[in-house]
Amino acid sequence: MTQIAITRTAHPKQPPADETLQFGRVFTDHMFMMNYDAGKGWHTPRVVPYAPFTLDPAACVLHYGQAVFDGMKAFRGKDGQIRLFRVGDHAARLNRSAHLLCIPELDVEMVEESIRTLVEVDQAWVPSRPGTSLYIRPTIIATETFLGVHPSSSYLYYVIVGPVGAYYKEGMNPVSILASDHHVRAVQGGLGAAKTAGNYAASLFGAEEAEKAGYTQVLWLDGVHHRFLDEVGTMNIMLRIDDEIITPPLNGAILAGVTRDSVLTLLRDWGLRVSERPIAIEDVLAAAQTGRLEMWGTGTAAVISPVGELGYKGERYVINGGQTGALTQKLYDTIIGIQYGTAPDPHGWASLLGNRQHAAR
């Protein structure tokens, strides 16, 4: 692996107090960068002071959206140790997203090494207050100066990191979601399985409409029938009807969430009945009305987000009495425990910073 050059800032900033942290507003003193040029491959991996960079106004990414990213977290435990959660799996997913956007493959070990190196350099920024973490955002953008729709011949891979506050400041609170019967996020055959910029642009209009109607998130239904559940906001969706736990299958329209995988793995460890199968909105509504439903979203930001209310075609349906279900709470507590090093980690998901043993996993 090519050596990562490290240039430290001459003007280190003071990290903000843990209790003031929000999400995505504050970044650390350094960032990682690496370039790709046709004929040369990926080259010049480096950690440099965090700073704006210049792009030609004709850069491909600004016009045609050839961009992918990922999102993961590092946690400081009560023991003071810093743990990265499933970093190898996030690195592999970044590569899968890149592949779907015709971006040249990265060495997954190099991606993991770029993240570990940057977090090491800025480790003083990893907050320690319960619930806080360091959010990690690897990104790849197309940089060729050219107007025309074709894959770029040059790219920038960079990583920025920043401390973020607790998602739940006063315990978990169930959200209300609106199932959209006309806006769609992604369709099979499209880019739903990639964490690519355009998918989030495509979600804005529907999300704003849901917000105006008094809901926090959109429940995305499939783009063909507007009937089967896809995802919720930027999370995967799961539900329990009686003793069956159901989540939509990875059919190409859905992002393969790492949290989704963690939850499915735990549920199977616990011997519960788990189905990855299509689930129609009318079956969800029927289960809600008969009080047999528990529903939650999964994603890195919230880990688990309970759903307390579902809107569809002008009607509001209360789920599980508007309360966080017992299984939802258990999943949250278990994953948080693994992330902060207070619960057993049988699958080796949390790896200590500086511990390269997991690098090739």
**CA atoms of 89 and 91, how far apart (whole Å):** 5
Of 73, 83, 116, 195, the one binding ligand PLP (CB under 6 A) is 195
Q: How far is the CB of 278 from ligand PLP (least distance, A)?
A: 17
Q: How far is the CB of 71 from ligand PLP (least distance, A)?
A: 6
Does 234 engage in binding with ligand PLP (CB under 6 A)? Answer: yes
Q: How far is the CB of 231 from ligand PLP (least distance, A)?
A: 5
Cβ-based nearer residue to ligand PLP, 43 or 268: 268
User: Per-residue string for binding with ligand PLP, 282-321, x by CB under 6 A?
Assistant: ----------------xxx---------------------
**CA atoms of 353 and 344, how far apart (whole Å):** 18
Does 231 engage in binding with ligand PLP (CB under 6 A)? Answer: yes
Residues numbered 64-123 forming contacts with ligand PLP, rule: CB under 6 A: 71
Cβ-based nearer residue to ligand PLP, 4 or 304: 304
Residues sharing a CB contact under 8 Å with residue 262, sequence separation 6 or more, in sequence order: 86, 298, 335, 349
The tokens describing 314, both together, are: 């002008």
Cβ-based nearer residue to ligand PLP, 256 or 285: 256
**CA atoms of 201 and 191, how far apart (whole Å):** 12
Cβ(314)–Cβ(179) under 8 Å? Answer: no
Q: How far is the CB of 299 from ligand PLP (least distance, A)?
A: 4
| Strands 229-232, 303-312: pairing kind | unpaired
The tokens describing 67, both together, are: 């961009």
User: Which of the ranges 37-45, 171-179, 230-238, 330-338 carries the binding residues for ligand PLP, by CB under 6 A?
Assistant: 230-238
Run of H or E residues at 96: helix 87-100
Cβ(199)–Cβ(69) under 8 Å? Answer: no
Q: How far is the CB of 161 from ligand PLP (least distance, A)?
A: 16
Cβ(109)–Cβ(1) under 8 Å? Answer: yes
**CA atoms of 206 and 87, how far apart (whole Å):** 31
CB burial of 256-290 (b: ≥16 within 10 Å; e: otherwise) equals bbbbbbbbbebbeeeeeebeeebbebebbbebbee
Residues numbered 9-68 forming contacts with ligand PLP, rule: CB under 6 A: none
Residue with tokens 């995802």: 231
Residue with tokens 């959109």: 218
Cβ(235)–Cβ(305) under 8 Å? Answer: yes
Cβ-based nearer residue to ligand PLP, 176 or 300: 300
Cβ-based nearer residue to ligand PLP, 258 or 293: 258
**CA atoms of 82 and 358, how far apart (whole Å):** 14
Region of 110 please: left (phi>0), alpha (psi -120 to 50) or beta.
Answer: alpha
# residues near ligand PLP by CB under 6 A: 14
Cβ-based nearer residue to ligand PLP, 72 or 118: 72
Q: How far is the CB of 68 from ligand PLP (least distance, A)?
A: 11
**CA atoms of 33 and 47, how far apart (whole Å):** 6
User: Which of the ranges 3-11, 47-55, 232-240, 272-280 carries the binding residues for ligand PLP, by CB under 6 A?
Assistant: 232-240
Q: How far is the CB of 260 from ligand PLP (least distance, A)?
A: 6
User: Per-residue string for binding with ligand PLP, 245-284, x by CB under 6 A?
Assistant: ----------x-xxxx------------------------
| Strands 303-312, 175-179: pairing kind | parallel
Does 221 engage in binding with ligand PLP (CB under 6 A)? Answer: no
Q: How far is the CB of 5 from ligand PLP (least distance, A)?
A: 30
> CA-CA-CA-CA torsion for 60, 143, 114, 166, nearest 10 degrees?
-50
Q: How far is the CB of 148 from ligand PLP (least distance, A)?
A: 28
- The residues that touch ligand PLP, with contacts defined as CB under 6 A, are 71, 195, 231, 234-236, 255, 257-260, 298-300
